[in-house]
Amino acid sequence: MPTSESLPLCRFAVLTLFPEMFAAVSEWGVTGRAFQSGLCELHLQDPRDEATDRHGTVDDRPYGGGPGMVMQAPVLSAALAKAKTAVGAEATVIALTPQGQKLDANLARTLAGASSLVLVAGRYEGMDERFIDREVDLELSVGDFVVSGGELPAMLLIDAVTRWLPGVLGHEASAEEDSFSEGLLDCPHYTRPEVHKGDRVPDVLLSGDHAAIAGWRRAQALRRTLDRRPDLLSWEQVTESDRALLEKWDLLTPDRGRQSPSEQV
C-alpha cells in the first residue's frame, strides 16, 4: 500500500449552518470508509461562528423587499477564509445554488482532479450576490427541483466526486464501469433464489457462457436507455453491431411495459 499512508487525495471544506448533517457522507458506506481511512478529508465550517452579535445572526431581510431572508456576505467571507486556511488557499470554491450549472458525471470526474474544494451550502432564499461574485468560482445545481438548502446537494457532490478517487471503490466495480460514465443505463441484476414468486432468472445468466452474458447485458442496457432516456441515446446513434445484439436478444422493439415516466405517474 504505497499511497495509503500519505496525503489525502482530496480535501473538502463545507460552509454550512448544519455541519452535523455531513455525518451521512463522512461516517457511512463507501464515502465513510474513504474519509475514515484518510483518502479524503472533510473540514466543516459553520458561518454562525462568524456572527458578531450575541444572537449569532447570519441572515437579514432582502434589500428591495420580498419574502424570506438572505445569508450575509461578511459571515460567509469570514467562514471561507477559515476554510481556506484548513484546506489550502488554492481551493476551488463551489456554491450549491438552484441557479447553478447542473452537476453530471463528467464534472464530478473533473472535480476529483482538484486537490481541494470548498463547498458553500446556503439556507434561506440564497446568499448575498456580492459574496458569490467576489469569492465563488463555480455555481452548481443538482437538478431542476427545489430542496430546502445546499447541504444535500453538497453531499451528493462529495459522494459523486469521491467515487472517482483511486482506491475509494476498493474491490467494487470501478467508477469507469459505472452507469453514465459509459453513457448507458445499467442492465438488470438478479441473485438467488432462482425462482421468486414464479418469476425465473433469465436463462442466459445461468448458462456460464460469459460472452453470451456480456452480449445480453449490453443489449439490455441499450434497450433500457433507448426506452427510458432518449436524451442519452437515440436509435440513430446505435451501431450496427449493437443493433445485431438487440436483434439476437429480441430487443429491437421498445419495452411497452414500464418505461416512460410520464405515462406511469
Active site residue 151: no
Which three cell numbers mark 111?
472535480
- ∠ CA 45-48-50, nearest 5°, is 80
DSSP percent split of the chain into helix, strand, coil, nearest 5: 40, 15, 45
Q: Which x/- pattern, by CB under 6 A, does the window 151-190 give for ligand 9D3?
A: --x-------------------------------------
Active site residue 258: no
Active site residue 163: yes
- Candidates 34-42, 77-85, 106-114, 139-147: pick the segment binding ligand 9D3 (CB under 6 A): 139-147
Give the C-alpha separation, 153 to 142, whole Å: 6
- Candidates 92-100, 169-177, 202-210, 219-227: pick the segment binding ligand 9D3 (CB under 6 A): 92-100
Query: Contact between 149 and ligand 9D3 (CB under 6 A)?
Result: yes
Q: Are strands 92-102 and 70-71 parallel, antiparallel or unpaired?
A: unpaired
Cβ proximity to ligand 9D3, 161 vs 169, nearer residue: 161
φ and ψ of 83, to 5 deg: -60, -40
Query: Contact between 98 and ligand 9D3 (CB under 6 A)?
Result: yes
The one-letter amino acid code at 142 reads: V
In DSSP terms, 96 is beta-bridged to: 121, 140
Residues marked active site are found at: 98, 125, 163, 178
Q: Which residues bind ligand 9D3 (CB under 6 A)?
A: 96-98, 122, 125-126, 141-143, 145-150, 153
